[in-house]
Structures are given as C-alpha cells and as structure tokens.
C-alpha cells in the first residue's frame, strides 16, 4: 500500500464531495477519488431544485431526511461561498406547484394533506395564481403555494464542495478506482492504476456506476440510469419571482445568472418511449426532448414562444429500485459505507447524506444513525434483478 488515509471516497459528484467536505470539516483525513473530472456525472446536469413538495418524499423519515437537508443549505452555502469565493447562485423564494389538469390537482391536494403539517403550503385558486404571475397560462386550475423553496447551480455546488474539502485537507485524486482491497470480510482500501490506497473506511459514492463494486462487496448494489434532459433559455421578459413546477410539465425557474431553466424529461407517463435504461451515462441531447420540453414550457408560460435556446443539458440520474437513496453499511462487510442511488434528489439530499455518513464513521461505524435506517443497503439483500423500468416510470421530477 503506497498511501494511507482515514477515508477513501469513490466519486466526486455532489454526494462524494459532500461526504468529503463534512468528513474533512471534522478533521478526518480524506482521499476523494474521481475517474473523470469533478462534477462530470449526474450532478453537473441537475436543476438544483431543493423542494420539499412533489411526491418523492413520503410522510415520516423520508420527509424528515429531506427537511433536515433543506435546513442545512443556508449555512452550508454561506460557508462554501466564504471559503471558496464562488457564487452558488442560491435563491430562496416562494414556489408554485401548478395544476393544469384535474389529475394534477388531485395529486397536489392529496400530497398537501400531510405536507401541510410540516411545510408552509396552501392551495390557491387560478385567480390568485394570476395575481402573482399574470403571464402563466389562463387554463390552469390552481396551485400549491409554498412560502419558501430553494434552487442553486448544482455544478457550482459540486465544485465548491470539492474545493472546500481540499481547503480543509482532503486530497482529490483524479484516478479511477478499479477495485476494492479486502482482508477477510473487511475492506481495507481501494485499487487504482496509480497504486492502492489503504484506509479505515471506503465510501462508495460512484452514482450510477456504483454497481461496478457489487462483485467485490458480494452484495447487490442496484443502481440504474434514468436519463434526464433540460433546457436553459434566454427570455427577455422580467424574471419569474416564484419557483414553478408542475407534476406533468416539470420545473420553470429563473436562475440568478439570468437564464430560465425548464425541464426535465424522464419517467413521466408520456416519456416512457424515451425512457433510457442504459448502464452508463447518456449525455446525448435529443431533438425529441427539446421539442417536448419547449412545448411543455409554452403550455405553462405562453410568452416563452419568444425565448431562445441557450443550452440543452442531458445526463442520467442514479436510479434505485424504490427511488430512495442507498446509504449505510453493507451487511457482512466492514470498512465500507454506501452513499448512492439518490435518483431525483441527490442535490437536495447531499447535506443530510454527508451528515449521516460522517456521524456513522466518527462513531467507529458502530451505530447506524436513525436518520438513515430507511435507506440501508440491507433492504436489497437477496435481490437478484431490479425493476428499474417501473421505478423510473413513476418519477415526476
């Protein structure tokens, strides 16, 4: 073994970089390994919407995990911006979750029946929506109005987390991890073409490439790829003052750099023909998605007929079979923690994931934090084949 660290983190996406940053903040010696470049995976393509609405969180621990993460962002962003001098384009604004169809109104109201206990959200009718934003389509039925949601630039967040971790002593190594080193049931390091690195704990945060390590772990690591595309538009009208989303037409957000983000494709009923179920990241923008996304945006905000396309982004989400992240120890193995499969919520859940992983490692990997009991890898023990198709079809974010 040529090098020794406390923790080796595999993958420098938002999850790996969050974990590296939180560990380094506690004085833990970290090596962050990345085979391509920092933020080259799913994290570079995300909208950066940090929203507690939508149907990805269910009542109980899942929602609490999202809420805890949401609450971490203001101080985390301030800390990272101070440390790195970067502007993460972080904004906190009211949000509107629009219903254009009856089924959307039913879904939104159904979710609100329990969300209202935790979030300042209420149903407002179409006239009230138009009072707030008169440019929205006259055909809408109403919306869930939330006092505050948030959005930031996910790529900048990713870079700032990596830079922040480095400033605290973490070492970024641009090398592919080609395998795990074991002694009996204990993982003792990672293998790279530049030599092995030994460590007390390995954190697998390799996004949709995480299944590569299931052979070494002797345990199923079910993460698939769910393609997503979105558009950045130049719109010369006034920016939107609210963060907008709708179950069937996705988000519409005026970013702090002046561009309007609309999207994303992936998993809604009418996407199923384009749903990508590959084993690798598909970064190819498609004309079908561009046309579909523009149409959806115009359905919601007709004046976007006059907007021009600046950039089309295409990436793939690390999809887990139940769309919940996979976080925690691997049954039967010591010295390894998984932090992967965050599906549509990896940007949002980065802080709470990193907090839990850090707490677990700091405690000598003895006690799993209560916040991640729902997300333990153990729930997939014995899984022989994951049904990503079904999981992906229900994604509405």
Ligand X SMILES: Cc1cc2nc3c(=O)[nH]c(=O)nc-3n(C[C@H](O)[C@H](O)[C@H](O)COP(=O)(O)OP(=O)(O)OC[C@H]3O[C@@H](n4cnc5c(N)ncnc54)[C@H](O)[C@@H]3O)c2cc1C
In the 8-state DSSP scheme, what is residue 334?
B
Smallest distance from the beta carbon of 18 to ligand X, in angstroms? 8
Smallest distance from the beta carbon of 186 to ligand X, in angstroms? 20
Measured from the CB atom, is 69 or 115 closer to ligand X? 69
Smallest distance from the beta carbon of 95 to ligand X, in angstroms? 12
Q: What value does the CA radius of gyration of the chain take, rounded to a whole number of Å?
A: 21
Measured from the CB atom, is 142 or 181 closer to ligand X? 181
Smallest distance from the beta carbon of 69 to ligand X, in angstroms? 9
Helix (H) or strand (E) holding 129: helix 126-132
Three-state DSSP at 369 gives coil
Smallest distance from the beta carbon of 361 to ligand X, in angstroms? 17
Which phi-psi region, left, alpha or beta, contains residue 299 (left: φ > 0; alpha: ψ -120 to 50)? alpha
Measured from the CB atom, is 105 or 229 closer to ligand X? 229
Measured from the CB atom, is 36 or 303 closer to ligand X? 36
Measured from the CB atom, is 329 or 346 closer to ligand X? 346
- 41: nearest Cα among 221, 162, 164: 162
CA geometry: angle at 320 spanning 107 and 97, to 5°?
25
Smallest distance from the beta carbon of 285 to ligand X, in angstroms? 11
Q: Which two tokens stand for residue 201?
A: 């704990």
What is the CA 47 to chain-centroid distance, rounded? 9
Residues forming contacts to ligand X in the complex (CB under 6 A) are: 10-16, 33-36, 40-43, 45-49, 176-177, 205-207, 209, 212, 228, 230, 263-264, 315-318, 340, 342-348
C-alpha distances in angstroms, 166 versus 25, 171, 172, 216, 373?
A: 10, 6, 7, 29, 30
Measured from the CB atom, is 317 or 333 closer to ligand X? 317
Q: State how beta strands 3-10 and 197-204 pair.
A: parallel
């Amino acid at each position: 073994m040529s090098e020794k660290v406390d923790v080796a983190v595999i993958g420098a996406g938002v999850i790996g970089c969050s974990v590296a940053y939180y560990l380094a903040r506690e004085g833990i010696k970290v090596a962050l390994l990345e085979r391509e470049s920092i933020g080259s995976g799913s994290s570079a393509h995300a909208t950066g919407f940090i929203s507690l609405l939508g149907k990805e969180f269910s009542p109980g621990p899942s929602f609490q995990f999202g809420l805890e993460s949401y609450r971490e962002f203001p101080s985390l962003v301030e800390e990272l911006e101070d440390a790195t001098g970067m502007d993460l384009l972080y904004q906190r604004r009211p949000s509107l979750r629009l219903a254009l169809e009856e089924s959307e109104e039913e879904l939104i109201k159904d979710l609100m029946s329990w969300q209202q206990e935790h979030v300042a959200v209420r149903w407002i009718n179409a006239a009230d929506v138009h009072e707030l934003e008169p440019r929205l389509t006259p055909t809408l039925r109403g919306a869930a109005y939330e006092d505050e949601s948030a959005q930031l630039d996910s790529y900048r967040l990713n870079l700032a987390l990596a830079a922040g971790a480095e400033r605290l002593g973490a070492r970024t190594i641009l090398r592919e991890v080609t395998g795990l080193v074991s002694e009996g049931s204990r993982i003792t390091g990672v293998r790279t073409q530049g030599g092995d690195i030994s460590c007390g704990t390995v954190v697998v945060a390799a996004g949709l490439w995480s299944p590569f390590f299931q052979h070494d772990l002797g345990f199923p690591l079910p993460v698939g790829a769910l393609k997503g595309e979105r558009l950045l538009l130049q719109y010369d009208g006034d920016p939107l003052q609210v963060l907008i989303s709708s179950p069937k037409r996705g988000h519409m957000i005026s970013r702090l750099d002046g561009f309007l983000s609309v999207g994303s494709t992936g998993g809604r009923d009418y996407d199923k023909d384009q749903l990508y179920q590959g084993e690798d990241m598909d970064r190819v923008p498609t004309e079908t998605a561009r046309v579909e996304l523009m149409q959806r945006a115009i359905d919601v905000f007709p004046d976007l007929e006059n907007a021009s396309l600046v950039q089309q982004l295409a990436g793939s989400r690390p999809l887990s079979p139940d769309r919940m992240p996979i976080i925690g120890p691997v049954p039967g193995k010591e010295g390894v923690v998984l932090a992967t499969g965050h599906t549509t919520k990896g940007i949002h859940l980065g802080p709470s994931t990193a907090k839990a992983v850090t707490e677990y490692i700091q405690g000598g990997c003895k006690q799993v934090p209560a916040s991640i009991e729902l997300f333990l890898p153990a729930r997939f023990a014995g899984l022989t084949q994951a049904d990503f198709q079904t999981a992906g079809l229900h994604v509405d974010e």
